A and B are shown apart, each in its own frame.
Chain A
Amino acid sequence: MDKQLDVLQGTLDMLILKAVSLGPLHGYGILFRIQQISRDRLEIQQGSLYPALYRLEHQGWIASEWGESENNRKAKYYRLAAAGKRRLQSETEKWNRMAEVIAGILHTTPEEV
C-alpha cells in the first residue's frame, strides 16, 4: 500500500480529536502525528488543517493555549476539551459501526443475496 489515501470528508475532525487526545500538540505536530500513526498512508491537505482546528475550537471540542515548542519558539498548543472527549467517543463508535456495515456489504457474494 504505497499510494497515500486522501482523508475522507468529515473524518479529519475525528483524526484531529484523536491526535490531541494523546497529549497537547501544535498544528504542525498534529499533522505530523496523524501521518506518523497512519504510517504515512494518509495525505492531509495542510491548508485544510487550520480551518478544521479553528472550527473545532469554536465548537468547544478542543482548547488552545500558547506555549514553547521543542526548539524554544512560540507555538499554539491544542488539547482535547471535555466535550471533545465525548465527541471523539461517539464518533469512534459511529465510525466502527459504519465500517462494519460497509465492509459487510462489500464482502457480499452473489450466493448471499
Chain B
Amino acid sequence: MTLLSRFRSWLRALVRRSRMESEMDTELRFHIEAFAEDLVRSGVPRQEALRRARIEFGGIERAKEECREARGVRLFETVWQDTKYGLRMLRKSPGFTATAILTLSLGIGANTAIFSVVNAVLLQPLSYPQPDRLVALMRSSPAGNQWAISVPKLIVYREQTKVFESIAAYDSAGPGINLTGGDRPEQVKGIHASAGYFEVFGAPIALGRVYTAEEDRPGGPHVAVISDGLWRRRFGADPTLVGRTVELSGDPYQIIGVLGPGFKSDPPADIWLPLQADPNSTNQGHYLRAAARMRPEVTLGQAQAAMKLAVEELRRKFPNWVGPRESATAVPLRDTVVSGVRSALLILIGAVGFVLLIACANVANLLLARATLRKRELAIRASMGAGRWRIVSQLLTESLLLSLVGGALGLVIGFFGLRALLAINPVNLPRIGEHGAEITLDSRVLLYTLLVSLFTAILFGLVPAISPTREDLNATLRDSGARSGGGFRQNKTRSILVVTEMAMALILLVGAALMIRTFEALRSVRPGFDGHNVLTMQMALSGSRFKKTAGAAQMVREVEQRVRAMPGVEAVAGACCLPLTGGPDFPFAIVGRAPVSGSYSGDVQWRNVSPQYFEVFRIPALRGRVFTARDDAGSTPVALINEAMAKQFWQNENPIGAQLLIGHGIAPEFEDAPRQIVGVVGDIRDYGLNNEPAPIMYVPEAQVPDGISALENRLMPFLWAVRTKVAPFSLDTEIQQEVRATSGGLAVAHVRSMEQVVGESTARGDFDTMLLSIFAGVALLLAAIGVYGLMAYAVQQRTQEIGIRMALGASPEKVRKMVVWQGMRLAVIGVVIGVVAALELTRFMAGLIYRVKTWDPTVFAVVAVLLSAAAWLAVYVPARRASRVDPIVSLRYE
C-alpha cells in the first residue's frame, strides 16, 4: 500500500512534472496570500503585509527545492537539468572543452588500446569448449616447466584416466606438409596428433569423421583430417571430398573428415595426421606437446598430484627415463599461450595508467581554474537555494560529460591507432591474429572504456567540485569581479597536481629511455654472423626420398652446385636451423673423460649444416678448419664446436682431436659414432640478440644419423641460406625455381632475408619500445601543458600584483625570474619525486631491458634534464608575458 502510493506519487511526479510545478506554485502563493490577508485584517497595509508574509515564509526557492526532493523525483530531474545546463556551459567555452576532451581522449585512448590487447591475449578464454578444463602436461624441474613430452611418457600419462577425460600429444606443425599432385604444389601446416586430440580440444566435425585410437597405431592407415579453411580454399568446399585420396608429401592419404569453421588450433594448422606413436618406444626425445581435458569434478591440484605420482611410478620402473630432479605437472593451457608476454603487457598497462592519471591531473587543473572563474555563478546558485550536493552533482555532471565524450573519442583513437601501429609493425604476439585481427571491440573492451571514463570523471571532477562549495558565499558575492582570487588552498591543490604530473611523466620517460637504450644495445650487439645479403627459405623434406640422410645430403649437394653456379650467388647452404631461430639440443660425452651427470659430459645445441654454412654467414674458423665437401657419409665422422663450447668444456686445452659421443643411449635410431673435433668456430647469438652465445656443436649434413634426420624432417622445416653479391630479393625467383626443381618439386615457403629474421627476433621488444615511447611522449606533452596552464593562470591572476611590483621599481627581468622560479620549483620537486619513484618502479622492467641497468645514471640524468627543459619552456612563456605587463594597464585591469 505505502509502497504502491509512493511509486504512484513518484510516477505522477515524473510524468506530470510541469503540472506538479505549477500546483506547487499555486499552493505556496495561496499560503503567502492567506497569511498576508490575516495580517491585513490585523491592520497592516496590504503592500507591507505581502512583504512581511514573504519574509516570514523564508526562502521560497529553497522550500520548493526541498519539496521536489521530498517528492522523490530529485534524481531524475537533477540529472536532466544538470545535463542540459552542463552542455550549455561546455558549449560556452569551446577552448576549455576541446582541450579537456582531447587530453582525456589521449589518456583513455591509450588505456583502451592496451586493454584491447590485454583482452585478446590474456583475458579471452581459449576458443575451445569449457576451456578452463584444459591443461598442458609439463615436464618440470627446479629450473622451471617445459612443455615437452616423450612417447614413453605419453603412454604412461595416458593411463591417468581418473583425472583426465582425454589426453592428446601433438607436434608443433614445424616443417609443413607438401600438398603435391595437381597443378600447384603447396606447403600447408600440419599437425601429427594422437587420437585424443579432437576430443581434448572439442573440435567440431563438419564432414566425415576424425581418426580413431585404432587408426592411431604404428602401421595404421594413412588418413587425414583437414580444416574448413583448406577445404574451401583448395577443394572448393566440395561436399563429396571425404573418402578421396590426396598426395601429402608424395604419399597417398585418404581424407576422412573436415573440421568446422570455428576451430583454431595452436599452433595453427590445416591438416591433422595420426601420430601413430609406438607404445613400445624407448625414445627419450621430448619433442611432443601434451594437453589434457580434466574430468568435470577434478581440480587442478588433483591433476597436478596425479601427474607427480605418474612420473614417480615411471621412475620406479625405468630409472633412466626420468632425470634426477625431473618431475611432471599440469598447468592451465591458457598460461602456456601467454607466459612470455604477461610481464610486458602488465608494464604497458601500468604505463597507460600513468598517462591517464596525468591526463586527469591536467583536466582537474583546468577545472580548478575554471571553478575560480565560475565562483560567482555558483554562489548565486547556492543563494537561490541550491544545496551543496546539488552544486557538487552539477559540477560532476559536467565532468562526466567531458569524460564520456573524451572516452568515446579515446575509443576511436586507441582502437584504430593500435590497429594502424600493428599494420605498420606486425608483432608476433600470441592470440592477436594476423595484424591484430583478433583484437576486437567486444563488450569487455567497451565496458572497460566506459568504466575508465567514469572513474576518470570522478577522479578529475571531484576535487574541483568539492573545493568551491566550501567557500564562503557572502565573501564571494561581495567580491565585485569574476576574477576573484584563487585562494591559497586552491593554488596548493593545483601545485600538488602539477608536481604529481611531473613525477609520473618522469617515471614514464625513464621507462621509455631504458627501452630505447635496450633497443640501441641490441642494434650494436655483434651477433657473430653477417646477415647482410643473405636470402633464406624453408622447405619441408617429406616423402620417401628423405627418409634417410643420404637422400637429403644428395639433394643439398646438388642444390649447392646449381645455385652456386648462378650469377650473383656467393655461397649456398642447407641446414637444420638459421642463426637466431634456435634448434635441437643433445647430450654428449667427451670420449675418455669421466661423465659429469649420468653418462654425459653436458647437453648443448646441435646444428647439422652443409659445408658452405660458415661462408654464407661469415662465421670464422678460430682454430682448425670448417667442413668441406669431403666430410661425407663415407669419411671419418667429424664435428665443429664453437668458442663458447670450447671455453666451457676445454678451458685452456686444445679441443681439436678430441672425440664427442653425441646422444648415446637416447634411442637406438639416434646412435652416433664418436666424432672428431676438427675445428673451433666463432660464437653466434642463437637465442635472441639479448642472450649470450650458447655452446653449439656442428655436424656435417651428410653425416647425420638417419634417425635424427627423420626426426628433424618430421619436426622442423629444412632451411636454405644463400649469400648473394647483389640485393638478395633480386635473385629470389630464380633461386626458388632452382631449389624446387632440384628437390623434385617441393614447395618453397617463408622466403625471408636474414635481416628480416633478425628483425623478427626483436619485433616484440621493438613494439614495446615504440608503445612506451609514444606513451612517454604523450606524458611529457601533457605534463608540459599542465605546468604551462598553472603558470599562465597564476600570471593572469596576479597581473595586478605584478603591475604594482613593477610600478614600485621591479625590473621586467626580476619579474620574469620570479615567475620562472615559482614554476620551476614545482617542476624540480616533481622531477626529484619522480626520480625516487622511478628507482623503485624500474625494477619491474629488469626482464625487458638489456645491457642497461634499471638505475642507469645516464638515462636518469638525460630524462631529468629533458623534462626540466620542457617545464622551463612551459614556464618561460607566461613568465615573459608577466615581464611585459604594463603597470598602468594592469592597475586598471579588472
Q: Which residues from chain A sit less than 8 Å from chain B, CB to CB?
A: 26-28, 31, 45-48, 50-52, 54-55, 57-60, 69, 71, 73-76, 83
Contact = CB atoms under 8 A, between A and B. Distances in A.
B30 A26 contact: yes
Given A28-B35, A69-B30, A83-B1, A58 B9 contact: yes
B455 interface: no
B67 A60 contact: no
A60 B67 CA distance: 15
Nearest to B4: A60
20 contacts: A27-B27, A31-B31, A45-B58, A46-B35, A46-B57, A47-B59, A47-B62, A47-B63, A50-B24, A50-B28, A50-B63, A50-B67, A51-B63, A58-B71, A59-B6, A69-B30, A69-B34, A74-B26, A74-B30, A83-B2
Interface string B39-75: 0000000000000000011111011001101111000
Nearest to A46: B57
B23 interface: yes
B62 A58 contact: no
B240 interface: no
A26 B33 CA distance: 13
Contact of B70 (A28, A47, A54): A54
Contacts of A48: 63, 66
A6 B56 CA distance: 15
- Tell me which of A26, A58, A75 has the highest count of chain B C-beta atoms within 10 A of its own C-beta: A58
Nearest to A47: B58
B27 A58 contact: no
B31 A27 contact: yes
Interface residues of B, number: 30
B5 interface: yes
- Tell me which of B28, B30, B62, B71 has the highest count of chain A C-beta atoms within 10 A of its own C-beta: B30
A104 to B, nearest CB: 34
A26 to B, nearest CB: 7
A52 B70 CA distance: 8
Contacts of B59: 47
B185 to A, nearest CB: 82
B593 to A, nearest CB: 95
A59 B3 CA distance: 8
Contacts of A26: 27, 30-31, 34
A31 to B, nearest CB: 8
A67 to B, nearest CB: 11
A75 B63 CA distance: 18
A48 B59 CA distance: 10
Can you list the 6 inter-chain pairs with the closest CB atoms, starting with the nearest? A47-B58, A60-B5, A51-B66, A55-B70, A54-B70, A28-B34
A76 B2 CA distance: 21
A46 B27 contact: no
A82 B76 CA distance: 30
Contacts of B1: 60, 83
A54 B69 CA distance: 9
B71 to A, nearest CB: 5
Contacts of A73: 30, 33
Given A46-B58, A50-B63, A57 B27 contact: no
A73 B33 CA distance: 10
Interface in B470-512: none
B30 A58 contact: no
A7 B28 CA distance: 21
Interface in B1-22: 1-2, 5-6, 9-10
Given A48-B66, A51-B63, A83-B1, 10 more contacts: A46-B58, A50-B28, A54-B67, A54-B71, A58-B10, A59-B5, A60-B2, A73-B30, A74-B30, A75-B27
Interface string B223-245: 00000000000000000000000
Contacts of B37: 71
A54 B74 CA distance: 13
Contacts of A52: 70
B67 to A, nearest CB: 4
Nearest to B33: A73
B6 A60 contact: yes
Contact of A76 (B23, B35, B57, B58): B23
A60 B71 CA distance: 11
A2 B415 CA distance: 75
Contacts of A59: 2, 5-6
B30 A75 contact: yes
Given A74-B26, A74-B30, A57 B2 contact: no
B72 A58 contact: yes
A83 B6 CA distance: 12
A46 B31 contact: yes
A31 B34 CA distance: 11
Nearest to B64: A50
B69 A51 contact: yes
Nearest to A56: B70
B809 to A, nearest CB: 57
Contacts of B70: 51-52, 54-55, 58
B31 A28 contact: yes
Nearest to B35: A28
A26 B27 CA distance: 9
A97 B34 CA distance: 37
- Tell me which of B27, B37, B58, B60 has the highest count of chain A C-beta atoms within 10 A of its own C-beta: B27
B645 to A, nearest CB: 88
B26 to A, nearest CB: 7
Contacts of A57: 9
Contacts of B56: 46
A55 B2 CA distance: 12
Contacts of A47: 57-60, 62-63, 66
- Tell me which of A31, A51, A54, A75 has the highest count of chain B C-beta atoms within 10 A of its own C-beta: A54
Nearest to A60: B5
Contacts of B30: 26-28, 69, 73-76
Contacts of B35: 28, 46
Contacts of B2: 59-60, 83
B22 to A, nearest CB: 12
A45 B63 CA distance: 11
Contacts of A28: 30-31, 34-35
A75 B28 CA distance: 10
B63 A76 contact: no
Contacts of A45: 58
- Tell me which of B34, B37, B62, B67 has the highest count of chain A C-beta atoms within 10 A of its own C-beta: B34
Contacts of B67: 50-51, 54
A51 B59 CA distance: 12
A60 B5 CA distance: 6
B28 to A, nearest CB: 7
Interface string B60-95: 101100110111100000000000000000000000
Nearest to A73: B30
A59 B69 CA distance: 13
A58 to B, nearest CB: 5
B330 to A, nearest CB: 61
Nearest to A82: B1
Nearest to B2: A60
A73 B26 CA distance: 11
A28 B35 CA distance: 7
Nearest to A45: B58
A82 B830 CA distance: 67
A35 to B, nearest CB: 11
Contacts of B24: 50
Nearest to B37: A71
Contacts of B10: 58
Contacts of B69: 51
Contacts of A75: 27, 30
A55 B66 CA distance: 9
Nearest to A63: B5
Nearest to B13: A58
Contacts of B57: 46-47
A36 B57 CA distance: 18
A59 B35 CA distance: 28
A18 B31 CA distance: 20
A51 B62 CA distance: 10
